[in-house]
Amino acid sequence: MSELQEWREQTQNLTLRVREAIADAAIEGNLTMVQTLTETLSPLQGMLDTLIDSRRCWQRQMDAIQSHLSSATTRGAVTRLQIIINWRATGRSLEPLTLQESTAAKTLAKFMDALARVLGTDILPKLKVVPVGNAGLVSRQPELDFVNPVTGDIYGHQPIGVTGWFVHTHTANSTKLEQIEKVRALLSLPFGTVTAKMIPNPTN
């Protein structure tokens, strides 16, 4: 349960209790208690809405700062992801595959697609155990699984070919490198099958 859901649930539970107390006080003819409880309950929902809005503004600002920091630390030479799959290390007579799309997100998606095409799409559900925040690395329903619990925004993701699966890509490049190694280990691919690194952007 997200923090916002907990706040809403607590507010709903307390509101229900207060309304029951108001009804009991009214039956007993205790109009003073009815008025007191009513006056304290009335602003509660407005206070919750203000609190949620403030929390969302804070999260958006945190995300913006993190994005700027990521841009600052990756600016210059190393901004693209390169992945090389040596299929022969797995005993397959396939030529090595080099992936290096215009963005790290697209390269990660191509990597997942290549694995699915060679190893079978049944590997994709297994990759859900690779954690990304409160969700897994892949999903069939990104609009449900890749949601920021505070802002409600959907995190960045890419389709995995035509499999109907999607990969979560709203992560730092260093995290993507760690995820690639976790995927290799999870699928029991031998060391040397996958080589991933950051490479310089091409010069114009």
Tens digit of each residue's pLDDT (9 = 90 or more) over 115-129: 999 999 999 999 999
pLDDT at 133 over 90: no
pLDDT more than 90, % of the chain: 51
Class of the domain covering 77-200 = mainly alpha
pLDDT at 204 exceeding the cut of 60: no
- Please tell me the distance from the alpha carbon of residue 63 to that of residue 172, in angstroms, as a whole number: 12
pLDDT of residue 2: 58
Q: What is the pLDDT of residues 158-199, one digit of tens each?
A: 999 999 999 999 998 889 999 999 999 999 999 999 999 998
pLDDT of residue 74: 47
The answer to whether the CB of 177 falls within 8 A of the CB of 194 is no
* Beta strands, E only, the chain: 78-85, 97-99, 131-132, 135-136, 138-139, 157-159, 166-168, 194-200
pLDDT band of residue 72 (cuts 50, 70, 90) is low
Burial 60-89 (b: 16+ CB within 10 A, else e): eeebeeeeeeeeeebeeeeebbebebbbee
pLDDT value at position 3?
64
CA–CA gap between residue 200 and residue 197 (Å, rounded): 10
Residue 159 CB-density burial (10 A; 0-12 exposed, 13-18 middle, 19+ buried): middle
Model pTM score: 0.63
